[in-house]
Chain A
Amino acid sequence: DAKTTQPPSMDCAEGRAANLPCNHSTISGNEYVYWYRQIHSQGPQYIIHGLKNNETNEMASLIITEDRKSSTLILPHATLRDTAVYYCIVRVGPGSGNTGKLIFGQGTTLQVKP
C-alpha cells in the first residue's frame, strides 16, 4: 500500500472550515484514499473515502486531485469536538487479494480553538 504524508499538527478556529492535506504521490490506480480520526481515549472513527471523484457526506468532504497524488479533507464548520488526530490512509479495495489491512501513520493533530 502507498505511503502518505501529512503535517503533524494544525490549528483551526471554531466555526471555520478545516482543510487537512495529504500527499500520496505513489498511489496506485486501484488504491482508495481513506480518512479516519481518533478522539482522545476512543477508537478511530471512519470519516470518508474515495477513489478518484470528490466525495461528501454528513461529516466532511474529500477533494482528490486529478492526478490522485494528493487529497484534502474538509470539515466545513469545525467545532471543538472535532479536535482529534486525523489519519489519511491509502489501501487497495477488496477483491484484490489483499487482507483489507489499514496502515496508520502519525496523522495530523487538529486543534480547534474557540
Chain B
Amino acid sequence: ETGVTQTPRHLVMGMTNKKSLKCEQHLGHNAMYWYKQSAKKPLELMFVYNFKEQTENNSVPSRFSPECPNSSHLFLHLHTLQPEDSALYLCASSQEGGAGAPQHFGDGTRLSIL
C-alpha cells in the first residue's frame, strides 16, 4: 500500500471512446504527476501539478487532458486515442518544498486501445 490509489487498474477502449483515469493520494502531498510507460520503454513524464496548478506539460497530445480539482485528486481524461497510446499510466505524488522529496507511485492503469 503506497498511499496512492489508481482506478481502474485495467481499461480497454475503442479509439472513439471517452474515458477518465482517476488517481487519489492519501499522503497529504501537494504535488501530483502523470507518467506513461510503454512496453520496453522508460517511464515518461506527462504532466506535473503543484498545489493544483499545472506546472509542466511534457509536449503531450491534446487527446490527453489532465484535471486536478484538489491536491488529493488527479484525473486524466482520454478521448480519440490511438493504438500507440496503449501503455501503463502511472500517477505519483510528493511533498514538494522540503529537501529531497521522494515521489510515491500508484500501481497504474493498464490501458489498451482497440
Contacts and interface: CB of A to CB of B under 8 A. Distances in A.
Contacts of A45: 2, 105
5 contacts: A43-B106, A44-B43, A94-B99, A100-B103, A102-B103
Interface string B68-101: 0000000000000000000000101010111111
B94 A100 contact: yes
A32 B100 CA distance: 7
A100 B96 contact: yes
A5 to B, nearest CB: 14
A44 B101 contact: no
Given A99-B55, A101-B48, A43 B105 contact: yes
Given A43-B90, A43-B105, A93 B100 contact: yes
A99 B103 CA distance: 12
**Mostly helix, strand, loop or mixed at chain A's interface?**
loop
B104 interface: yes
A94 B97 contact: yes
Nearest to B101: A94
B107 to A, nearest CB: 5
A42 B100 CA distance: 23
Interface of B: 2, 4, 6, 31, 33, 42-45, 48, 50, 55-56, 90, 92, 94, 96-108
Most buried by B among A41, A43, A105, A107: A43
Nearest to B104: A46
Contacts of B4: 43
A106 B33 contact: no
Contacts of A42: 107-108
Nearest to B90: A43
A91 B29 CA distance: 19
Contacts of B50: 99-100
Nearest to B55: A99
Contacts of B104: 46
